[in-house]
A and B are shown apart, each in its own frame.
Chain A
């Protein structure tokens, strides 16, 4: 039995009501459900068909949501090694190192020196916080929450380096430059890699969603 536009809209509404918010998951499920329903030889009411299938639909959305943080952390790790291989990165590291070396010759207190050392890492985190605050500003609360959730997942591991300085690292290590300099260097590069992943993903997601929006039946 061929489904009409109205039925497809009802399926989409049903998926939304069941908290399946990801548009890419929804359109894939719609196609599956419609194909399965249309191939049925014995007539079944659409509502009862949908209620029978909703359990696995929710399961797919749940698994997709669960896989996002892991996938994002993997992407950050991959990008970190890509950044490490770039000569430009090492040129920046040498330049920043030279600035620190010159500054270390000045009569700064240990605390001030620590903040100077932290400044590249803090700059990266501030850029990330700006993205987290500005993304989805004009969209509704659900979209804002989804966008924020995505960003928190993306930046969670990179921020770990900042939390280390803010809390769990012992004081002796914080005062040890042989530990702190590589720690902040790695922390800054991981945070930079996360920003690159974010920018790359944003472009990809934007293009994909624009395509979907143009073609979805309700647009």
Chain B
């Protein structure tokens, strides 16, 4: 992806959406999932991912579960109840934003 700035504002929404679908995920898994879903077009940098996860956790949208995996600890993130509600809101906002952008850049094209 040439311009990753376009994704920057949607990082939190991407994380919330993935966790809504997958139930629980750890940091590295999120980066790999995004890479595979976008066929390598988008790669979330670790320097942006972890601060975003920590922020969402501090806001009470994510809960943490720590488990032992192969001689090390793994921190899984999952949505809290507030996080589930927030995900719905943010996805609706994002959908609205995409619709508006589509209207701006390609007025003939419509999302039904």
Interface residues of A (CB under 8 A from B): 4-5, 8, 24, 27-32, 34-36, 39, 56, 59-60, 63-64, 67, 71, 211-212, 215-217
Contact = CB atoms under 8 A, between A and B. Distances in A.
A31 B54 contact: no
A35 B51 contact: no
Given A64-B51, A67-B55, A31 B45 contact: no
Interface stretch (B10-18, B72-80, B104-112): B72-80
Contacts of A8: 71-72
Given A64-B54, A67-B55, A31 B47 contact: no
Contacts, number: 62
Interface of B: 26-29, 32, 45-47, 50-51, 54-55, 58, 66, 68-75
A24 B27 CA distance: 13
Contact of B51 (A4, A27, A63): A63
Contacts of A215: 66, 68, 73
A27 B46 contact: no
20 contacts: A4-B71, A8-B71, A28-B50, A28-B75, A31-B74, A32-B27, A32-B46, A35-B26, A35-B29, A56-B47, A63-B47, A63-B50, A63-B51, A63-B54, A212-B66, A212-B73, A215-B66, A215-B68, A215-B73, A217-B72
A27 B75 contact: yes
A59 B47 contact: yes
A21 to B, nearest CB: 16
Nearest to A216: B73
